[in-house]
A and B are shown apart, each in its own frame.
Chain A
Amino acid sequence: MKPNRPVNLDLGTIALPLPAKASILHRVSGVALVVAVAVLLYLFDLSLSGEAGFARAGELLATTPAKLVIWGVLAALIYHCVAGVKHLLMDLGIGESLQGGITAARITFAVAAVLIVLAGVWVW
């Protein structure tokens, strides 16, 4: 492999098509989830530490800032799961064409948006 072969991977200069946007958001949500695991482990730990801890976790989750954080975590989780299922389906050869990729990205955004709104309703 020639080390000086021409490449253009400067993402800032490339107009991202819809499937690329779906892909980069999958990555962004994944990185966010790595951080979110700390929040979830903390709450999980607290909720299983005893009656008092369980009640304390409930109190924490009743505040508006905490609800916003949890909704954010759920949004990242939902998007990552939906985009992940799209990924697995494409691995199986479903929707691998150019048009299929665009349609799959549209479906991913639509399904994730609906589920994220529903998650918001559930949190509040």
Chain B
Amino acid sequence: MKIFLKKFALFMAVCICLLILFFLLINQLNHQVLYHYKKRMNGTILLAGDSHVQTALNDTLIKSTINISQAGEQYIFTYFKLLKLLDHNIKIHSIYLGFANHNISSYRDHDDLGEFDISAYYFCILPCEEKARFIQHHYKMLIPYIKEILKSGFQNATNKNKPPFFLGHSLNINETITPTKISIEQRVLSQYYIGNKLCSISSSQLMYLDKIVELCQSKSIKLIMLNTPIHPSYKSKIPIVFQNKYQDILDKYNLQKVDLSNLVKNDNLFLPDGDHLNAKGATVFSTYFNDSIAGKLSAGFLKVN
């Protein structure tokens, strides 16, 4: 029995050590990718947020900007991403942070540490104590979660064609299907309601929004809240409580906002859900945005038809 237990323990130790080694290697590779990305960053303005900013702003058309937004990115991940990127990076002077009203809706609060697969992509850039918290949070699916971390960490470190998932990038979606009343209604229902009940305000999203504001203040970086264009029909359906809360946040921190949610009215420039722009819409909007931040446009919105 003793020999059996000894050998079994040794075997398990070998497996665990190998896993830890592999994990450390992946972690190191991800940090190297981040380090090289930071070295190559030559913009002074960051565009951060989720899929709204990702699909609406093509940073190749906007001078001095780097789009670091990623689909499905909650503020918790934006915060840790900015924490890493702004560390020893003095070139960045402004951040446009995407804000869509549903960002503070609790509809995704069932997993306040991010959806399973998305959170795994950010795992390597998290501080140690956060890593432990994330692992503890996913303990019921521990093995699949660790597997997902290793898999996504490996993809982040080895995919040479595009930036790693945790850094984000602008994304053009060539979609010709335009929004309809039903598709917009479905979208609004999924983002602001659970069943027929209105969602509450997400405390975790607010907490990390607070942290982003504090981070920018501590680094003397100008934080501007950005509302990307949304379909008029979608906008009319946003519950008032979320609009009011947004104003409260702005007032609380005296934040500047650029509300371009009314800018685009043409159905052909939207994706079917009504709250994302398609590739054509992104080109129109990015050109406008470039001119706007370059001071070429006078105040007021450009009507795009």
The judgment on whether A and B are partners is no
Binding site for A on B (CB under 8 A): none
A: residues with CB less than 8 A from B are none
